Amino acid sequence: SETMLTLRPVHVARAGEAVLAGTTIDSPRLERNNLWQSEPFLDALIGVRMTLLYATGNPGKVMELRKIVEGFGLEIVAPAEIGLALDVPEDGASLEANAAAKASAYLERLADPDVIVLGDDTGVEIDALGGEPGIHVRRWIGRPMTDQEILDHCLARMAHVPPGARGAQFRTVFA
């Protein structure tokens, strides 16, 4: 399956800060040389050392982003590594709204003006269910759900769907 990462400017934290232009990066192009040669907005970052606070409590996301940007002058910092622990409500009407809320909340608490804050939100879109649960993956049934409850609910909803027609994708938005 194809991995797709869409970067769109959703929130500019400070005046004068560089904003990443909207672009799509698909997994076959995540090789270092091809990525940098094919994405002009990333070319501008070569030789620049930047610190980016990834506004997430998910260590797996931090590790994954570190692997993607390794060797390109971006230091990815997790909130826990600098003593920040926020519980930002994910009650926006879109992935973009939730990602921007996370970025804003961490930016307000950050003491270092030279650190760029990156927030994200991810939804799961199941083709046979018309894109459900989307943004509501953790609250699909109207209340917070555990991982097991999400899996059980999904399988129950898709019981009528043949295995070959069970396509789905994650969609992540960064702000």
Q: Which residues are catalytic?
A: 121
The count of C-alpha atoms lying within 13 angstroms of the C-alpha of 36, restricted to the half-sphere facing its C-beta, is 13
Q: Measured between alpha carbons, how far is residue 90 from residues 28, 34, 128, 135, 144 in Å?
A: 31, 35, 25, 9, 11
Which residues are bridge partners to 116 per DSSP? 52
